[in-house]
């Protein structure tokens, strides 16, 4: 989704501050996309659709929302200093009308067991 959040995250990637990311497992299933694999390279694009860098997947893990680690939260590069702040921000995004509309899930349920 283009916009200020995307551009903030892209800037953090380019600066080397964002080294981890999070997504909902159900997004991958819904889109029938294979999960990323180690060694996968992707072009990072800004809100204007311009490629700004290439990232490489070096590790993948799937875990419950309740099991996110502090190192993962800090690695997201958004200034999180604890898992609770990370979770609050991500739940806010995943529960937003814009996100729910983009994934076609108006009744999306997020809880400790969400992958």
The pTM of the full predicted model, rounded to 2 decimals, is 0.84
Domain ranges of the chain: 4-103
The tokens describing 104, both together, are 């076609």
pLDDT band at residue 18 under the 50/70/90 scheme: very high
Expressed in angstroms, the distance from the first to the final Cα of the chain is 21
Cα–Cα distance measured from residue 5 to residue 1, given in angstroms and rounded to the nearest whole number? 9
Determine which helix (DSSP H) or strand (DSSP E) holds 38, and give its type and residue range. none
CATH ID of 4-103, from 3.30.450.40, 3.10.400.10, 1.10.3720.10, 3.30.300.30: 3.10.400.10
106 versus 61: the higher-pLDDT residue is 61
- Encode pLDDT of 27-54 as tens digits: 888 888 888 999 999 999 999 999 999 9
Is 70:82 a contact under the CB 8 Å cutoff?
yes
Greatest CA separation found in the chain?
Answer: 36
């Amino acid at each position: 989704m283009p916009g200020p959040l995307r551009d903030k995250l892209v800037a953090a990637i380019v600066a080397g501050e964002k080294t981890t990311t999070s997504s909902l497992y159900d997004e991958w299933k819904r889109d029938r996309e294979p999960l990323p694999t180690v060694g996968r390279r992707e072009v990072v694009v800004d809100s204007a659709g311009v490629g700004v860098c290439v990232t490489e997947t070096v590790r993948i893990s799937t875990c419950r929302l309740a099991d996110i680690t502090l190192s993962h939260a800090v690695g997201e590069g958004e200034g999180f200093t604890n898992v609770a702040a990370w979770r609050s921000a991500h739940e806010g995004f995943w529960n937003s009308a814009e996100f729910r509309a983009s994934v076609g899930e108006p009744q999306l349920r997020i809880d400790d067991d969400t992958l």
